[in-house]
Amino acid sequence: MSELIGLEEAKLHCRIDDDYEDTLIQAYIEAALEVCQKHIGKRFDNGLEFTAAIKIGCLMYVSQLYEYRTMIGDTDAKEIPMAVSALWSVYRDVGVY
């Protein structure tokens, strides 16, 4: 599933030039795709189209995870950012996931 968003594309979006955090960024890509599907309530392998809005939302979520990676215990960091939620909510089909 991570082939939907490439590592280099995510690093470019996050403005990361080095390679020493590639494993971390790859994990964030996987997490963003998982959270996206849970939020929408439908899976990519079960009819959910990977649209431009979904992709941008995932990239924004990756950058959010990267930016706030050191904030442990912050309850706001656990919420999906409003801009990301707005991009994904139009695809939401609650209870299908």
pLDDT of residue 94: 53
* pLDDT per position as a tens digit, 41-88: 899 999 999 999 999 999 999 998 898 877 555 555 556 676 677 667
Residue 54 lies in a domain: yes
Confidence of residue 96 (pLDDT cuts 50, 70, 90): very low
Residue 97 lies in a domain: no
E strand or H helix at 36: helix 22-40
pLDDT of residue 89: 74
SS3 content of the chain, % helix, strand, coil (to 5): 65, 0, 35
Number of folded domains that form the chain: 1
- Which range of residues forms the domain containing residue 32? 2-89
pLDDT of residue 88: 72
- Show Cβ contacts of residue 51 under 8 Å, excluding neighbours closer than 6 positions: 91
Residue 95 lies in a domain: no
pLDDT of residue 36: 92
* pLDDT per position as a tens digit, 82-95: 667 766 776 665 54
Residue from 75, 85, 59 nearest 7 by CA? 59
Residue 46 lies in a domain: yes
